[in-house]
Homo-oligomer: A and B are copies of this chain.
Amino acid sequence: MGEENKVGTYNFVAEPFHVDFTGKLTMGVLGNHLLNCAGFHATERGFGIAELNESHFTWVLSRLAIEMEEFPMQYEKFSVQTWVENVYRLFTDRNFSILDKDGKPIGHARSIWAMIDLKTRKPADLLTLHGGSIVDYICQKECPIEKPGRIKVTSVEPVGEYVAKYSDIDCNGHVNSIKYIEHILDLFHIDTFREKMIHRFEMAYVAESYYGDKLTFYREQISDNEFDIEVKKNDSEVVVRSKVIFKN
């Protein structure tokens, strides 16, 4: 298979209710599009959720890092490319490029996925699935952003609290991956987004949370433009960690 055939390309337009008050596509919607593209790309190659569910496996998103130089603006067309960078026994790395309407890269993203057995909830061995054919999709395309790093928050002073509601819950009964992104960005004052843009956004999905769970948000400022965030449920377990890096 040629390297070109290993890359999936999907077209979008920045819809009016998908941009923020500055007219930029929101990080939540972008994350949603990336995860959808991952789904399209995997499905087209026989590794989609629907096929996996039949054999009682599913994909679980572990890490997501998105780095943008600029954002698609309201009504602008843009596209997302995605490909598989690596496959290990328990994880696979899937990367993304975000291209503007003229095909110029304006951002990139990295994601790390595990596969679990729905019956045992244990990780599955990716290298034995479908006779190991997933490695045929590994592609040598460059993704010029750093891998997701370690995020460590020591603050014990909450900066926000939120009880998970109907609209937060996905069809697996969990608070959905995209809603965390919205709730985390809502910790910041709107003026932050007026003066700066989000340059890099990282999510580490650690545990699931459910309807009615009390989510508590802790934030630590690392430098002028860099913030680490930790979300705990019901005053105990860490659910997600996140890093937000703004640029002026």
Q: Contact residues of A with B, CB < 8 Å?
A: 15-17, 19-23, 26, 28, 32, 35-36, 39, 49-50, 74-75, 165-167, 169-173, 176-178, 182, 185-186, 188-190, 193, 211-212
Contacts and interface: CB of A to CB of B under 8 A. Distances in A.
Contact of A22 (B75, B171, B211): B171
Nearest to A19: B171
Contact of A16 (B170, B186, B211): B170
Contacts of A166: 20-21, 185-186, 188-190, 193
4 closest Cβ contacts across the A-B interface? A165-B186, A21-B169, A167-B182, A23-B171
A213 to B, nearest CB: 12
Q: Which has the most chain B C-beta neighbours within 10 Å: A15, A171, A211, A212? A: A171
Nearest to A167: B182
The copy count of this chain in the complex is 2
Contact of A173 (B21, B169, B185, B212): B21
Contact of A171 (B20, B39, B188): B20
A8 to B, nearest CB: 16
Nearest to A73: B171
A190 B176 contact: no
Contacts of A36: 15-17
A173 B36 CA distance: 28
22 contacts: A16-B36, A16-B39, A16-B49, A16-B170, A17-B35, A17-B36, A17-B170, A20-B167, A20-B169, A20-B171, A21-B166, A21-B171, A21-B173, A21-B211, A50-B75, A74-B171, A165-B190, A166-B185, A167-B182, A167-B185, A169-B190, A190-B212
